[in-house]
C-alpha cells in the first residue's frame, strides 16, 4: 500500500501550492491514499467546508486536523457527516466527528488515526497513548487492517517520538504535524513503523511558521498582546510531506520526505 501525506496546509499560499504540486506528486508516487492535514487551510486557522471539497476534487482522500480543527464553526456540519475529515481522537468524547477512520481500496483497508499531543497543548485532552491503544484493541494491524497511519499533532519532539516507539510494530506509520518545520529524521523503526517527527507545512516559508513576520515581532520584541488579526504570509508556497510504502504485515518498507518549492532545499 502506498500513502502520500502532506503536512499542515497554511492559508492561501498552502492551498495554492497543493493545487500546483499535488497532481504531479500523485503521478510520480501513484499513492493508494492521499492524506493531508488541513487544520490551518483557512487563513491559517481552521478549515472551511468549501476548502475541504476543493481538496477532495484535487484527489485528497482524508483530511486530518489538530488544535485548530474547530476554529471555523462551519466545519462542524461536514465533520459530523463524514469520516473523510477527522479531528483529534483524544478530544472530549462529546466533540463532533471522529478521531479515526477506515478506508478500503482494492480489498485493502487503511486506518488513519488523528491524535494530539498534550505537552504545551490543550489541557483538556485525554492521554494520546491510551486513546490510540483503545482503537488498536478494536482494529489491530494485520488481517482486516492492511495499514495504520497516525498523524500525531504535537508540540514536542519527545512526545511524538515516545508515541512512535511505544507503538512500533503495531502501526505502519507515525508522522508528526503542528510545528510547521520539516525534520530530518525520517526512518523506519526496528518494529517496522515509519516515523518522521514533523512533516512540515505547506505554505510560504519566507515567514514565521506561516505568518507574516510583523505578527511575530510585536510579541517577541515588545511583549505586547499578539494582534487579533494574524496575517498569513502570501508568497509562493512550498509543499512538504512524506511518501510511505507499506508491505507485508503492515510494516513500512519505504519512507521518503517531500519538499517542493522556492525556499527550502527540495527533496523527493
Please write the tens of the pLDDT for every residue from 66-75: 999 999 999 9
Catalytic residues: 68
Q: Tell me: pLDDT of 80 over 80.
A: yes
Please write the tens of the pLDDT for every residue from 106-165: 999 999 999 999 999 988 899 999 999 999 999 999 989 999 999 999 999 999 999 999
Instruction: Return the DSSP state at 124.
Output: T
- How far apart are alpha carbons 198 and 195 in whole angstroms? 9
For each of the domains in the chain, give its residue range(s) and CATH number, in order of start. 2-260 (3.60.21.10)
Mean pLDDT of 18-33: 98
Handedness of CA 266, 189, 155, 6 (dihedral sign): positive
- How far apart are alpha carbons 34 and 76 in whole angstroms? 22
> Is-contact 25 4, C-beta < 8 A?
yes
Handedness of CA 137, 163, 258, 7 (dihedral sign): positive
Q: Please tell me whether residue 253 adopts helix, strand or coil conformation.
A: strand
pLDDT at position 225: 65
Amino acid at each position: 500500500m502506498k500513502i502520500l501525506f502532506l503536512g499542515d496546509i497554511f492559508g492561501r499560499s498552502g492551498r495554492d501550492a497543493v493545487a500546483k504540486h499535488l497532481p504531479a506528486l500523485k503521478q510520480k508516487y501513484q499513492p493508494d491514499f492521499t492524506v493531508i492535514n488541513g487544520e490551518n487551510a483557512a487563513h491559517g486557522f481552521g478549515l472551511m467546508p468549501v476548502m475541504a471539497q476543493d481538496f477532495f476534487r484535487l484527489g485528497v482522500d482524508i483530511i486530518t486536523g489538530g488544535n485548530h480543527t474547530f476554529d471555523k464553526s462551519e466545519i462542524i456540519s461536514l465533520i459530523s457527516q463524514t469520516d473523510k475529515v477527522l479531528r483529534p481522537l483524544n478530544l472530549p468524547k462529546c466533540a463532533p466527528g471522529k478521531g479515526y477512520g477506515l478506508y478500503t481500496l482494492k480489498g485493502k483497508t487503511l486506518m488513519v488515526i488523528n491524535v494530539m499531543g498534550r505537552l504545551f497543548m490543550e489541557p483538556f485532552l485525554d492521554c494520546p497513548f491510551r486513546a490510540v491503544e483503545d482503537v488498536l484493541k478494536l482494529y489491530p494491524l494485520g488481517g482486516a487492517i492492511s495499514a495504520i497511519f497516525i498523524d500525531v499533532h504535537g508540540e514536542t519532539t519527545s512526545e511524538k517520538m515516545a508515541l512512535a516507539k511505544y507503538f512500533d510494530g503495531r502501526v505502519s506509520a507515525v508522522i508528526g504535524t503542528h510545528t510547521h518545520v520539516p525534520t530530518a529524521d525520517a526512518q523506519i523503526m526496528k518494529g517496522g513503523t515509519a516515523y518522521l517527527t514533523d512533516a512540515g507545512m505547506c505554505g510560504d516559508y519566507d515567514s514565521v511558521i506561516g505568518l507574516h513576520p510583523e505578527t511575530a515581532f510585536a510579541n517577541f520584541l515588545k511583549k505586547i498582546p499578539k494582534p487579533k488579526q494574524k496575517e498569513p504570509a502570501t508568497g509562493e508556497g512550498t509543499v512538504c510531506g512524506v511518501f510511505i510504502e507499506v508491505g507485508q504485515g503492515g510494516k513500512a518498507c519505504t519512507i521518503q520526505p517531500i519538499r517542493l518549492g522556492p525556499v527550502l532545499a527540495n527533496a523527493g
